[in-house]
């Protein structure tokens, strides 16, 4: 590395890549070259900075100026104005949607201001392909510290004292897990990183792997020292090509520097990491299925106990933690367990990363202390609901989780409070829904997902979720029957208590939690044959407002079922029997005369 007068950070998270950051970056680099600034200005690709809906974004240091939604031409302007002449390009700064206030630097934006970044401490700040930048930000110092000044027992004690719990969903105390493995008989032992993130809408783990891969490698090596293991595996899905690529590069660089491999820091400790690429089956996120997949067998779960900590990979003691959990380890070692335990709530320590998605203004990646309320996450950081619509519910934990209705917006988010509400912390997917979302349809979506992803090994999950899906589908078609709700509840409880693994045991959650909080919506579908949110097509009736219709005939022209008739220049009408409920007429009507009941 060399000294530059300015660093330009280009976000190259998957979100920004898909909104075109590579073209912006090459325009920027070309301009810098053309203007002769190559020796003064350094362009750096980073991992996800978080505000994905503002992409492509860049930040110019030392001032820290934050530019958003850039096109290649904008990048040229930034190079000519800001980088060459030192003038900030006002036009490209962020403006708060609620009051139009311009923010020059990212710390003036609410989205960033209210976050506490531990797991994401480097993501969006360093170049993930440069081990040097990671080292400059205290990288591998924690590994050095444990290898030279701590015993394995002290490391485990430190993690236990910090109160860190698994970020993959279930929230098992991490230190305890390590201790079980360290004390279990059998050698060799293994360290595994679960990067098989599969919840729809969740991308926390991907962003960490893409933005700060070394933090995971360092943490795995620390665990290797603590439990007496010299081999780690990262199980990552093939759908994350960029994560696989950056992680491979990180492993290569770490080996080059001697931070992985034989005799690390001359202490005699050896540890290496290999990548195992999964084919993307959802069930492989379940730890026993994941281990089976690493071993080269079919990705199917097995009953626990024995837990992987005792009998894991090839029957040997194995610590398996999720990506975000790993990313928390180095700062805990460096700053001490007391520091970590001072953040969060009594039983949930530290921070949690959430992937904000759905009907929210600022979609993206956020990290907040445990115990932050949903209201703060959705309205202060997320910027509220677009289009002035009402917030209806938030879905946490993906297909294993549940929904939280508006009346619980002020509940502090931690493991216990979410479980109490019938949802779970999960891996951190947070899908926001507004008044236009039908909760029955939502339950159907998740049920369809788990039904599709069920591995089929145990019957409660294989057959039970199928039967539940059939019932829910029937309800959305307007063919719901008296007793369906109770039947769903009974089936759900049965599957929960008898399925083999976490996938099946949590699969009924979206249905059960929507019944619990939105029972009236199910009843409206079943008894009144109505979808209050206007989503379930089969339950909608299209009609024409005779007062607004001037008989232009556009609707009749586009109707694929020829269900609309009427004389020219006179109000038309829709034949309910023939109507397919496709909604094309509504889209085409220029006078807003077509409505649904």
CB burial class (10 A; 0-12, 13-18, 19+) of residue 84? Answer: middle
Stretch that binds other proteins, among 135-143, 331-339, 451-459, 475-483 (CB under 8 A): 135-143
The Cα 127–Cα 139 span in angstroms is 13
Which of 11, 103, 109, 125 touches other proteins (CB under 8 A)? 125
Residues numbered 30-59 forming contacts with other proteins, rule: CB under 8 A: 36, 39-40
Nearer to other proteins, 41 or 585 (CB): 41
Stretch that binds other proteins, among 85-93, 210-218, 309-317, 561-569 (CB under 8 A): 85-93
208, 327 Cβ separation under 8 angstroms:
yes
CB of 354 to other proteins, least distance (A): 25
80, 37 Cβ separation under 8 angstroms:
no
CA nearest neighbour of 52 among 94, 16, 18 = 16
CA nearest neighbour of 464 among 515, 504, 511 = 504
166, 327 Cβ separation under 8 angstroms:
no
Stretch that binds other proteins, among 84-92, 155-163, 173-181, 504-512 (CB under 8 A): 84-92
State the SS3 of 140-184.
CHHHHHHHHHCCHHHHHHHHHHHCCECCCCCCCEHHHHHHHHHHC
Say whether residue 80 binds other proteins (CB under 8 A): no
Nearer to other proteins, 35 or 275 (CB): 35
Say whether residue 88 binds other proteins (CB under 8 A): no
The Cα 494–Cα 491 span in angstroms is 5
The Cα 492–Cα 7 span in angstroms is 54
CB of 38 to other proteins, least distance (A): 10
CB of 168 to other proteins, least distance (A): 30
Nearer to other proteins, 40 or 435 (CB): 40
Which of 132, 153, 338, 452 touches other proteins (CB under 8 A)? 132
Q: What region does 344 belong to: left with phi over 0, alpha with psi -120 to 50, or beta?
A: left
CB of 131 to other proteins, least distance (A): 10
- Going along 325-434, which residue ranges are E strands? 351-358, 364-369, 391-396, 402-405, 429-434
CB of 270 to other proteins, least distance (A): 14
Encode burial over 362-371: b for 16+ CB neighbours within 10 A, e otherwise.
bbbbbbbbbb
Which of 7, 160, 467, 554 touches other proteins (CB under 8 A)? 7
CB of 5 to other proteins, least distance (A): 4
Say whether residue 268 binds other proteins (CB under 8 A): no
Which of 93, 96, 104, 135 touches other proteins (CB under 8 A)? 135
Nearer to other proteins, 258 or 456 (CB): 258
222, 269 Cβ separation under 8 angstroms:
no
CB of 339 to other proteins, least distance (A): 20
Which of 30, 138, 376, 448 touches other proteins (CB under 8 A)? 138
Q: Give the CA distances from residue 105 to residues 46, 73, 108, 123, 381, in Å, rounded to whole numbers and listed in that order.
A: 17, 21, 6, 17, 16
The Cα 482–Cα 469 span in angstroms is 17
Please give the radius of gyration of the chain, using alpha carbons only, rounded to the nearest integer.
Answer: 27
CA nearest neighbour of 465 among 481, 483, 443, 437 = 443
Nearer to other proteins, 2 or 547 (CB): 2
The Cα 134–Cα 127 span in angstroms is 8
Nearer to other proteins, 61 or 595 (CB): 61
Nearer to other proteins, 139 or 337 (CB): 139
Nearer to other proteins, 19 or 31 (CB): 31
Which of 85, 407, 562, 568 touches other proteins (CB under 8 A)? 85
For the beta carbon of residue 177, count every other beta carbon within 10 angstroms: 25
What x/- string results for residues 233 through 262 when contact with other proteins is judged by CB under 8 A? ------------------------xxx---
Which of 142, 147, 182, 468 touches other proteins (CB under 8 A)? 147
CB of 4 to other proteins, least distance (A): 7
The Cα 559–Cα 574 span in angstroms is 10
The Cα 357–Cα 233 span in angstroms is 30
Nearer to other proteins, 10 or 236 (CB): 10
CA nearest neighbour of 168 among 308, 6, 47, 358 = 308
How many angstroms from the chain centroid is the CA of residue 241? 17
CB of 18 to other proteins, least distance (A): 25
Three-state DSSP state, 52: helix
Which of 23, 77, 108, 144 touches other proteins (CB under 8 A)? 144
The Cα 508–Cα 400 span in angstroms is 8
CB of 213 to other proteins, least distance (A): 17
Say whether residue 101 binds other proteins (CB under 8 A): no
For the beta carbon of residue 190, count every other beta carbon within 10 angstroms: 23
Which of 74, 133, 218, 434 touches other proteins (CB under 8 A)? 133
Say whether residue 4 binds other proteins (CB under 8 A): yes
Nearer to other proteins, 87 or 297 (CB): 87
Residues numbered 148-167 forming contacts with other proteins, rule: CB under 8 A: 148
Nearer to other proteins, 142 or 193 (CB): 142
Which of 71, 137, 160, 161 touches other proteins (CB under 8 A)? 137
How many angstroms from the chain centroid is the CA of residue 296? 27
Which of 18, 33, 34, 64 touches other proteins (CB under 8 A)? 64
Task: Give the total of residues touching other proteins (CB under 8 A).
Answer: 38
Say whether residue 87 binds other proteins (CB under 8 A): yes
Say whether residue 3 binds other proteins (CB under 8 A): yes
543, 574 Cβ separation under 8 angstroms:
yes
The Cα 244–Cα 310 span in angstroms is 29
Nearer to other proteins, 144 or 228 (CB): 144
Q: Using CB under 8 A as the criterion, which residues of the chain lie in contact with other proteins when the complex forms?
A: 1-7, 9, 36, 39-40, 61-64, 84-87, 125-126, 132-133, 135-141, 144, 147-148, 257-259, 265-266
């Amino acid at each position: 590395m060399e000294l530059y007068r300015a660093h330009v950070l280009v976000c190259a998270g998957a979100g920004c890549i898909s909104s075109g950051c590579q073209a912006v970056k090459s325009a920027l680099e070309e301009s810098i070259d053309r203007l002769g600034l190559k020796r003064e200005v350094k362009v750096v690709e980073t991992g996800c900075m978080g505000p994905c809906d503002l992409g492509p974004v860049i930040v110019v240091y030392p001032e820290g100026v934050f530019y958003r939604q850039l096109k290649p031409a904008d990048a040229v302007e930034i190079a000519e104005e800001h980088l060459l002449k030192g003038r900030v390009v006002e036009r490209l700064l962020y403006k708060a949607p609620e009051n139009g206030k311009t923010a020059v630097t990212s710390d003036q934006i609410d989205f960033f201001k209210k976050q506490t970044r531990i797991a994401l401490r480097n993501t969006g700040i360093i170049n993930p392909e440069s081990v040097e930048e990671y080292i400059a930000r205290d990288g591998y110092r924690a590994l050095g510290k444990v290898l030279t000044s701590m015993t394995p027992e002290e490391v485990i004690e430190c993690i236990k004292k910090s109160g860190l719990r698994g970020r993959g969903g279930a929230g098992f105390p991490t230190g305890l897990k390590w201790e079980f493995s360290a004390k279990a008989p059998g050698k060799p032992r293994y360290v595994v990183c679960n990067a098989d993130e599969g919840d729809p809408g969740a991308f926390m783990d991907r962003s960490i792997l893409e933005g700060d891969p070394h933090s995971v490698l360092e943490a795995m090596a620390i665990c290797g020292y603590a439990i007496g293991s010299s081999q780690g595996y990262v199980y990552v899905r093939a759908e994350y090509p960029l994560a696989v690529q950056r992680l491979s590069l990180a492993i290569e660089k770490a080996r080059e520097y001697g931070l992985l491999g034989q005799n690390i820091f001359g202490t005699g400790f050896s540890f290496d990491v290999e990548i195992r690429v999964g084919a993307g089956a959802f069930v492989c996120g379940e730890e026993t299925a994941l281990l089976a997949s690493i071993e080269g067998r079919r990705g199917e779960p097995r009953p626990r106990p024995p837990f992987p900590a005792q009998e894991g990979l090839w029957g040997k003691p194995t610590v398996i933690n999720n990506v975000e959990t790993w990313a928390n380890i180095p700062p805990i070692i460096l700053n001490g367990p007391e520091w970590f335990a001072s953040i969060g709530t009594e039983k949930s320590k530290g921070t949690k990363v959430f992937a904000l998605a759905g009907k929210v203004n600022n979609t993206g990646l956020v990290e907040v202390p445990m115990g932050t309320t949903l209201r703060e996450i959705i309205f202060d950081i997320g910027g509220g609901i677009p289009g002035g619509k009402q917030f209806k519910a938030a879905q946490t934990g993906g297909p294993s989780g549940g929904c939280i209705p508006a009346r619980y917006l002020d509940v502090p988010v931690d493991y216990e409070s979410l479980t109490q509400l019938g949802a779970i912390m999960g891996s951190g997917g947070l899908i926001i829904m507004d008044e236009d979302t039908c909760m029955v349809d939502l339950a159907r979506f998740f049920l369809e997902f788990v039904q599709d992803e069920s591995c089929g090994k145990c019957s409660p999950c294989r057959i039970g979720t199928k039967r539940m899906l059939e019932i829910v589908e029937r309800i959305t078609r307007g063919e719901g029957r008296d007793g369906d709700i109770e039947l769903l509840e009974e089936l759900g409880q049965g599957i929960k208590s008898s399925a083999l693994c976490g996938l099946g045991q949590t699969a009924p959650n979206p249905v059960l939690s929507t019944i619990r909080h939105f029972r009236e919506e199910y009843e409206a579908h079943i008894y009144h044959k109505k979808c209050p949110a206007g989503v379930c097509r089969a339950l909608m009736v299209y009609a024409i407002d005779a007062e607004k219709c001037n008989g232009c005939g556009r609707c009749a022209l586009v109707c694929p079922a020829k269900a609309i008739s009427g004389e020219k220049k006179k109000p038309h009408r829709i034949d309910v029997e023939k109507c397919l409920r496709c909604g094309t007429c509504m889209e085409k009507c220029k006078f807003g005369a077509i409505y649904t009941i």
